[in-house]
Chain A
């Protein structure tokens, strides 16, 4: 087995007296699609928030290719190639779709103040490339027709796709999707599945997924972690999870 791209050991998050995440461990190999499932309020999003630096975990280790990232502020973790979407889509609503994608490239652009002031050739070049990259991804997620519309006016499914495209602007290695299929109709969910497959195949992105849509999770994941009340319950391949009695009990309740 090669070295994991993401490794989490003993992750614990405590809010006052509440133990939201207890001793969670993850092991994600490159180009895998790994899912986290569990009932509502199980602490899945809290795990995401710890991984992306929005919360400082109370305990445990988070390693990206062996490098510890716990304790780093959110933007620095994002710069290490870990980016995420949000459960309740967080787009820049008053900016157009294409501007959303340009903002996300901020770090890769020529932000030299004087260059921008005098529109040097290097600056124009950099802006043009950013625009091309944005166009490329708008085509990939089928949003090219609405490129110049404010993001807030897009349909819900379009907003979800735009958020994923916006993540791709940062050239991530690990993409963390927080309930990407929530609120999508079956056709859109199929498209999403194809999109995730494409991200992995063509762009070498590792995907970490929180999702309630079991059909999607079972068909797409290489590995699944089940979390219940902040505590890891089980993990394994989709087949193993499907037949795990503890998981069935947690989901269906004590019979």
Chain B
């Protein structure tokens, strides 16, 4: 039994991390689906989101508003509003002026944007780790004991619930609302959508904003789960989420969700087998392997080359 518990525990940990990867990955996949470009600065949006979450949590506590629901709502709201502003600004500054140019050019400008944002935070917030205590102490234990059983922390439960709600909301938005339909039309054929009177610039900006807001949700959850942030976390989170997006099939929203979960689980088991220091290598290797052998990912559509 201990064997089985151990694997179950890894699976649950992997799924927890994976579901947050999935949230960030949606930002990549939606932008890619519509303008066919990688938003390299997305990881930094996530990083800024976690700073805002910390500021909101600590600020509200200092003001005496320290009941859990207020803290949570405050952190989510503040973080999502600010990252949305960042997502929108990134699109306006680093992407919109470059629309229609060679595809490497916006990628380079996004890399520049990413370096810029990371250093803005480094300068204004300094490079030291910032830590807060866990707001949801406590675990659910299945099995005989924490040593011989499966432990699920309340925080993990919260992550599952929030992720699920956010994903469900997004799916409804995309499939039911008028704007969601416009998004799908743009992903299908942006020139045609433009001709049909859809404000494509607006839709592109909207995808950046939605992606940023979802990254903020992930940022609040992950920074509360680990309790530590610094200005460098965006880089790794960005690459992981991008891997998740590619794994699931870039451009596909369900793909990003699936990719995130698969990556999270693969990482958890990889770290278990090769040691924790190789966790990131597992993710990078997975990225390389997927791109080599199945560049369209699990759920992606094959691209037909136009001759």
Measured between beta carbons, the chain A residues less than 8 angstroms from B305 are 54
Whether the Cβ atoms of A15 and B307 lie closer than 8 Å is no
A222 vs chain B, min Cβ distance (A): 27
Whether the Cβ atoms of A49 and B307 lie closer than 8 Å is yes
Could you tell me the dominant secondary structure of chain A's interface residues? mixed
* Interface check A86, CB cutoff 8 A: yes
B301 vs chain A, min Cβ distance (A): 9
* Interface check B62, CB cutoff 8 A: no
Cα distance A45–B307 in the bound complex, in angstroms: 9
A1 vs chain B, min Cβ distance (A): 33
Cα distance A86–B307 in the bound complex, in angstroms: 8
* Interface check B161, CB cutoff 8 A: no
Could you tell me the dominant secondary structure of chain B's interface residues? loop
**Interface membership of chain B positions 272-307, coded 1 if the CB is closer than 8 angstroms to chain A and 0 otherwise:** 000000000000000000000000000000001101
Cα distance A54–B307 in the bound complex, in angstroms: 8
Cα distance A85–B304 in the bound complex, in angstroms: 20
Interface size class of B (residues with CB under 8 A): under 10
Measured between beta carbons, the chain A residues less than 8 angstroms from B307 are 45, 49, 54, 86
The A173-215 residues at the B interface (CB cut-off 8 A) are none
Measured between beta carbons, the chain A residues less than 8 angstroms from B304 are 15
**Interface membership of chain A positions 38-75, coded 1 if the CB is closer than 8 angstroms to chain B and 0 otherwise:** 00000001000100001000000000000000000000
Cα distance A54–B305 in the bound complex, in angstroms: 8
Residue of B nearest to A74 (CB): B307
A3 vs chain B, min Cβ distance (A): 29
Cα distance A238–B304 in the bound complex, in angstroms: 35
Cα distance A90–B268 in the bound complex, in angstroms: 49
**Interface membership of chain A positions 79-111, coded 1 if the CB is closer than 8 angstroms to chain B and 0 otherwise:** 000000010000000000000000000000000
Cα distance A220–B304 in the bound complex, in angstroms: 34
Cα distance A45–B305 in the bound complex, in angstroms: 13
Cα distance A15–B305 in the bound complex, in angstroms: 12
Cα distance A191–B305 in the bound complex, in angstroms: 33
The B43-94 residues at the A interface (CB cut-off 8 A) are none
Residue of A nearest to B305 (CB): A54
Cα distance A54–B306 in the bound complex, in angstroms: 9
Residue of B nearest to A178 (CB): B307
Cα distance A49–B306 in the bound complex, in angstroms: 10
A173 vs chain B, min Cβ distance (A): 21
A193 vs chain B, min Cβ distance (A): 26
Cα distance A44–B283 in the bound complex, in angstroms: 45
**Interface membership of chain A positions 9-33, coded 1 if the CB is closer than 8 angstroms to chain B and 0 otherwise:** 0000001000000000000000000
Cα distance A15–B303 in the bound complex, in angstroms: 11
Residue of B nearest to A48 (CB): B307
Measured between beta carbons, the chain B residues less than 8 angstroms from A54 are 305, 307
Residue of B nearest to A46 (CB): B307
Cα distance A101–B305 in the bound complex, in angstroms: 25
Residue of A nearest to B301 (CB): A16
Residue of A nearest to B304 (CB): A15
Cα distance A15–B307 in the bound complex, in angstroms: 14
B252 vs chain A, min Cβ distance (A): 16
Cα distance A129–B15 in the bound complex, in angstroms: 64
Measured between beta carbons, the chain B residues less than 8 angstroms from A15 are 304
Measured between beta carbons, the chain B residues less than 8 angstroms from A86 are 307
Which residues of A line the B interface, CB within 8 A? 15, 45, 49, 54, 86
6 contacts between A and B (CB under 8 A): A15-B304, A45-B307, A49-B307, A54-B305, A54-B307, A86-B307
Which residues of B line the A interface, CB within 8 A? 304-305, 307
Shortest beta-carbon contacts, A-B, top 6: A54-B307, A49-B307, A15-B304, A54-B305, A86-B307, A45-B307
